[in-house]
Amino acid sequence: AQSVTQPDIHITVSEGASLELRCNYSYGATPYLFWYVQSPGQGLQLLLKYFSGDTLVQGIKGFEAEFKRSQSSFNLRKPSVHWSDAAEYFCAVGGNNQGGKLIFGQGTELSVKP
Amino acid sequence: EAGVAQSPRYKIIEKRQSVAFWCNPISGHATLYWYQQILGQGPKLLIQFQNNGVVDDSQLPKDRFSAERLKGVDSTLKIQPAKLEDSAVYLCASSSTVHQFFGPGTRLTVL
Q: Identify which of A41, A92, A101 has the shortest CB distance to residue B56.
A: A101
Name the minimum distance, in Å, from the CA of B105 to any CA of chain A: 6
Alpha-carbon dihedral A7, B90, B100, B96, rounded to 10 degrees: 160
In degrees and rounded to multiples of 5, residue A98 shows phi and psi of -95, 0
CA nearest to B100, candidates B39, B20, B45: B45
pLDDT score at A97: 56
Low-confidence ranges of chain A (pLDDT < 70): 96-99
pLDDT score at A98: 54
Q: Do B42 and A43 touch (CB under 8 A)?
A: no
Q: Identify which of B56, B99, B102 has the shortest CB distance to residue A99.
A: B56
pLDDT for B35-50, tens place per residue? 999 998 999 999 999 9
CA nearest to A89, candidates A48, A32, A30: A48
- In chain A, what residues touch B104 (CB-CB under 8 Å)? 41-43
In degrees and rounded to multiples of 5, residue B41 shows phi and psi of -125, 165
Name the minimum distance, in Å, from the CA of A90 to any CA of chain B: 7
